[in-house]
Structure 1
Amino acid sequence: MVRRPQRGDPFWIWALHGWDVLSWALLALLILLTAVGDLPGTARYGSLALMVGLGLCYAMMRRSPDNPVLTPQRHLGLLVLALGGLAYLRDGFGVLYLVLLPQFTIVARSTRSAIVHSGLGAVAITIGGVLREGWNLDVLTTNTVSSLAVYAVSVLIAVLTPRALRLTAERTQLRADLATTQLRLAEAQKRQGAAEERERLAREIHDTLAQGFASIIVLAEAAHAGLASHPDRSAQQLRSIEQTARDNLAEARVLVGSAPQSGLASGSVARTLRRTLDRFTEDTGLTVTADLPDIDVDQPTRIALLRCTQESLANIRKHAAASTVGVVLTRHPDRAELEITDDGQGFVVAESRGFGLDGMRKRLDELGGELTVTSSVGNGTRVLAVLPTNGPV
């Protein structure tokens, strides 16, 4: 049985059900006209009984589609008999076959059932009309031709309606699949965004707070050990601890969003790197040589250069056992390069699994840059950070 039309259904389904509603309205009008008309008793009461019975049967079936007594097949059988009876009782009532044509498609359980029952309806009205008008070749031919024409329309409706419903179902399924895919994509993007944000925060914490706390621990241990023998040195280390703690507090405020993204002023990368190197020299006592021209780069590049410097110096302090560190900043027409070298014990780059180097690589990669680490055991380390720039030197 064809369901009632819903939003999004093709025009064909709406037209079919509109035709069905109109057919029952016309049938009700015919019942009214028959009831108040002056037809002979047999034609009057017989046609009234058939039309009213047909309407009641259809109403009962639509109200209870699973009614075991009045099934769709039985309703169609009653429709065929009613059409034949009306064609026999009244002149011109064979047109009800055309009026009630949607019934065969709407009620039938299958296309085959619709075609078979509408064919039986065509036979019924043909026989009914011939019985009423008398058996002769002209009447039979006329009734047969008109019935076949309407039957052809019925077959067309029965074939096209399931196709229209299938197309609607396919479109509905496609829309549902698209909505599901979009929802899954949105959830995946949300998860990916959350993962990327966690990774970014982890990198920022490692490059700022974690490095600062590590420096504080090293300085506190050194200050404690030298309190008796080197009080001036310990005092200087305590000042470094205080300054590092203040810097960490400022970075923490940046991370929680209560302070600007960076304290670097425009064009101040050289000055910031010198301050970082001075603090490193004070804390470690290592010899640092620096060539830091005051180049002008954008804010993300300045932050990346500073973080690469901080991470490299932290690695030198913790692992290199170096005595000399060199830092060179160079501005080319299309890129900025930062080179950091040390004369420490070096390491095997392929075996390095540290979070710091991976963090630097990812940070530079996000800006279209590149990190190159060259080292071997006993021969020191060279870190080269390259970042693209725009505009003149």
Structure 2
Amino acid sequence: MATPGLSARRTSPGTDSAPGAPPRPVPWVAPLLYLAVLLAGLTAAAHNGSLATAPTAAFVAGLLLLLLLERIPVPSRSLALLGARLGLIVAVTALDDSGLSRALLVLVPFTAYFAFGRTAALALAGGCVAVVLALYTLSDPAWYADPAYVSDLLMLLIGLVLALAMAAVAIGEQQGRARLEEYAARIAELSATAERNRLARDIHDSLGHHLTAVAVQLEKAAAFRGHDPDAADQAVADARHSADRALEDVRTSVRALRDDRSAPLPLPSALADLVRQLDDGRVEVSLRVDGEPYDGPAGPALTTLYRAAQEALTNVRRHADARRVSVVLTFGADSARLVVADDGRGFRPGAVTGFGLLGIQERTRLVGGTVEIDSAPGAGTRITVEVPRTGTETDA
């Protein structure tokens, strides 16, 4: 398992780290501790009458250098930086009249936790305790019998424990923020992908259908121009109507993108319009609506049925070479079902890779519905789409 100091990959806010760098120590801990040691040392020097002496000046200079090291943009994993900090802390401790400077030793494992991980920090914490014990032994072999020495050692141990715990908590918080940023970026990317897919389905299902209708009607007009001018004129009028519908669909899509609202869709009448466009005399199209249509504007579920019918009828016009097509819309208590069946040439469902059927399946899945495609070469096609009455579109 990677240590906390090595596992962070992203920069979290407030850490002042470059991307890919390990977490940075909490920035206010060291300066606050330096300030406390400075005030304690100057107070002790003033009490002892040594405030204006060279050792006190060196003590202050050492603390200022330590503070400067916190601000210099040296790589946080530099052993030289850690060694310089440790040397300055030892020097400041030797010059301090108050004895509080020993508390600065906790900064060594605290900083090492961020730079080198938990194992290195624990080792350095043990080393700090060993150094203090060695100094105690050199100054007073019977130090363990002096309550002051024992109290100072216990305070150092408590300080080391708290410093290591704070470092662990800070690293966990920084890594948590980094993971949240990564998750947010992934969600934004997935949302953008879902929106692109939705727009692709809308363009294919809506504009593709109307442009197909325009092309068919214009072909009909060209074919009938010579011997049936009235039929040709009607075909041109139908083509113009399909072009107007395409333009209206574009405007509706733009409005939906601007204010995220969809216009009401009376599904039975919309299907009747689709059927009328397909019924050009060469294909017999029937529409049957069973059950009571749902009140109120259509939601994503009924819009899915409309788009499915639109795509199915477009495929009939383009590929099926059918003579009869039936469209059956059934409103149930809990769901609505659309069945589009034709007697055309059929196909193998697994061999078709176009956007149309894929779009039907994607739309239906998003509202919690189901799609069944029953077809075989020469046996016609039957597409059944069923959606729940309260289906709500998701980004799944």
- Indicate the TM-score class for this superposition, using the shorter chain for normalisation: 0.7 to 0.9
- 2: CA distance between counterparts of 1:332 and 1:78? 84
Q: Does 1:58 align with 2:59?
A: yes
Percent identity between the aligned chains? 23
Match of 2:20 in 1: none
Q: Does 1:295 align with 2:292?
A: yes
| TM-score (structure 1 length as normaliser) | 0.73
Match of 1:276 in 2: 274
Q: Which amino acid aligns with 1:176?
A: Q
**CA contact 2:62–2:88 (8 Å) conserved in 1:** no
Higher gyration radius (CA): 1
Matches within 5 A, 1:10-29: 20-29=37-46
**CA contact 2:89–2:105 (8 Å) conserved in 1:** no
From the superposition, tell whether residues 145 and 163 of structure 1 become closer, same or farther in structure 2 (CA, over 3 Å): closer
- Residue ranges of structure 1 left out of the alignment (5+ in a row): 33-47, 84-95, 128-143
C-alpha displacement of 1:370: 0.8
C-alpha displacement of 1:346: 0.9
SS in 2 for 1:340: strand
Match of 1:133 in 2: none
**CA contact 2:291–2:332 (8 Å) conserved in 1:** no
**CA contact 2:283–2:323 (8 Å) conserved in 1:** yes
Q: Which amino acid aligns with 1:370?
A: T
Q: Which amino acid aligns with 2:175?
A: D
Any idea what the Cα deviations from partners look like across 1:221-266, whole Å, max 9, x if unmatched?
231233222211110110011100100010000111279955545x
- 1: CA distance between counterparts of 2:252 and 2:32? 65
User: Given the alignment, which residue of 196, 217, 220 partners 1:219?
Assistant: 217
From the superposition, tell whether residues 221 and 153 of structure 1 become closer, same or farther in structure 2 (CA, over 3 Å): same
**CA contact 1:223–1:235 (8 Å) conserved in 2:** yes
SS in 2 for 1:386: strand
- 1: CA distance between counterparts of 2:92 and 2:261? 82
C-alpha displacement of 1:147: 6.9
Any idea what the Cα deviations from partners look like across 1:280-335, whole Å, max 9, x if unmatched?
103x5311222224632343333222211111111111111111111212222222
- 2: CA distance between counterparts of 1:386 and 1:208? 20
Any idea what the Cα deviations from partners look like across 1:192-236, whole Å, max 9, x if unmatched?
111100100110111111211122122222312332222111101
User: Given the alignment, which residue of 241, 244, 248 partners 2:242?
Assistant: 244
Give me the CA root mean square deviation. 3.6
C-alpha displacement of 1:384: 0.8
Match of 1:317 in 2: 317
C-alpha displacement of 1:20: 2.5
From the superposition, tell whether residues 225 and 5 of structure 1 become closer, same or farther in structure 2 (CA, over 3 Å): closer
**Number of residue pairs the alignment of both structures matches:** 332
- 1: CA distance between counterparts of 2:87 and 2:230? 107
- 1: CA distance between counterparts of 2:33 and 2:42? 14
SS in 2 for 1:169: helix
- 1: CA distance between counterparts of 2:25 and 2:56? 18
Q: Which amino acid aligns with 1:233?
A: A
SS in 1 for 2:45: helix
From the superposition, tell whether residues 24 and 250 of structure 1 become closer, same or farther in structure 2 (CA, over 3 Å): same
SS in 1 for 2:337: strand
Any idea what the Cα deviations from partners look like across 1:329-374, whole Å, max 9, x if unmatched?
2222222111111111111112111211111111111111111110
Match of 1:41 in 2: none
**CA contact 2:86–2:105 (8 Å) conserved in 1:** no
**CA contact 2:323–2:343 (8 Å) conserved in 1:** yes
Deviates more, 1:310-319 or 1:103-112: 103-112
SS in 2 for 1:292: strand
- 1: CA distance between counterparts of 2:338 and 2:176? 48
Match of 2:121 in 1: none
- 2: CA distance between counterparts of 1:14 and 1:173? 19
Match of 2:102 in 1: 103
- 1: CA distance between counterparts of 2:171 and 2:165? 10
SS in 1 for 2:373: strand
Deviates more, 1:222-231 or 1:100-109: 100-109
Q: Which amino acid aligns with 2:274?
A: T
- 1: CA distance between counterparts of 2:25 and 2:261? 60
Match of 1:334 in 2: 334
- 2: CA distance between counterparts of 1:119 and 1:104? 16
- 2: CA distance between counterparts of 1:165 and 1:356? 62
Any idea what the Cα deviations from partners look like across 1:265-285, whole Å, max 9, x if unmatched?
5xx322221222122103x53
From the superposition, tell whether residues 16 and 115 of structure 1 become closer, same or farther in structure 2 (CA, over 3 Å): farther
Q: Which amino acid aligns with 1:389?
A: R
Any idea what the Cα deviations from partners look like across 1:47-93, whole Å, max 9, x if unmatched?
x59x93431221232334599xx99659857966x89xxxxxxxxxx
Any idea what the Cα deviations from partners look like across 1:167-209, whole Å, max 9, x if unmatched?
2222222222112111111111111111100100110111111
From the superposition, tell whether residues 312 and 118 of structure 1 become closer, same or farther in structure 2 (CA, over 3 Å): same
Match of 1:116 in 2: 131
**CA contact 1:262–1:303 (8 Å) conserved in 2:** no
Matches within 5 A, 1:114-153: 115-117=130-132, 120=135, 124=139, 148-153=146-151
- 1: CA distance between counterparts of 2:301 and 2:389? 8
Matches within 5 A, 1:143-292: 148-257=146-255, 264-265=264-265, 268-282=266-280, 285-292=282-289
- 2: CA distance between counterparts of 1:233 and 1:201? 36
**CA contact 2:345–2:377 (8 Å) conserved in 1:** yes
Q: Does 1:370 align with 2:370?
A: yes
**CA contact 2:326–2:342 (8 Å) conserved in 1:** yes
**CA contact 2:89–2:104 (8 Å) conserved in 1:** no
- 2: CA distance between counterparts of 1:71 and 1:229? 100
Q: Does 1:307 align with 2:307?
A: yes
- 2: CA distance between counterparts of 1:154 and 1:214? 88
**CA contact 1:5–1:17 (8 Å) conserved in 2:** no
